[in-house]
Amino acid sequence: MSFDATNDTFSMTPEQKAVFADENSPVAMVGGFSLLPAVYHDEPRLAEAFKTGKGLRWSDHCNCMSCGVDRFFRPGYRAHLIAEWLPALDGVVEKLERGAKVADVGCGHGFSTRLMAEAFPNSDFIGIDYDEASIDCARAEISGARNLRYEVAKAQDFAGSGFDLVTMFDALHDMGDPVGAARHIRSAMKNDGTLMLVEPAAGDSLADNLNPVGRVYYAGSTHICLPTSLSQDVGLGLGAQAGEKRIAQVLRQGGFSQIGKPAASPFNMILEARP
């Protein structure tokens, strides 16, 4: 922040504006700061969760937690999802343009689902999340879209079959049973279907992740991702920095044999999995 004594004004550099003042910027971080009040509010519960090892359910967090998570990820999804991530998948955009059946699993407030539904009006989209309050928020923003709906369900047993595309945005590592989720998704997809998995950018070792982005995600995992996973059945506890190798192991256990990384951003890696 710079101060101009002549005009008695403060100003920011373009880089500072991109991070702090422009919520449409792909590197906007203001959403992350909105998470901090929830972290402090939940400190007694988190301390108890670490003592007992039982974790902390998503619904037991301060309600501004889910709002902050949604706000943190929106800029990246807005910048990359339609323009870069989906086109990087083999033949998926063509299917979506013709008309495909899509499930967005772990959709939270549903922003990713809405982006896709607006971009591909010939396809049908269902956003799925186990947190009822998040689905209520998602439904409030549908704005009359006819090719979009939201349902409360777990990733391990949601209804429906014959999906051409299943997406998961920054959600698999939060799940207690990610292998079970992958297995159910595989069973719900067509044989030529695609799973697009968006996960935090992470290397396969601690040393790979000791960078500014990795440190942010380790902090987030400690306060949000890991306790959430441990609070659910199985409680595998992948955390936000599992890395491509570990995630691929989970997907293979779930029945996927073809796994690649067709795209990436400073904050995310995009994995494409097929039967």
**How far apart (Å, rounded) are the C-alpha atoms in residues 113 and 105?**
9
CB 69 within 8 A of CB 54: no
For residue range 71-116, list pLDDT tens digits in order.
Answer: 888 989 999 999 999 999 999 999 999 999 999 999 999 999 999 9
Please state the pTM of the whole predicted model. 0.90
**How far apart (Å, rounded) are the C-alpha atoms in residues 127 and 118?**
13
CB 134 within 8 A of CB 109: yes
Instruction: List domains and CATH numbers for the chain.
Output: 90-274 (3.40.50.150)
**Quick one: average pLDDT of 11-17?**
83
**How many Cα atoms occupy the beta-carbon half-sphere of 173 within 13 Å?**
28
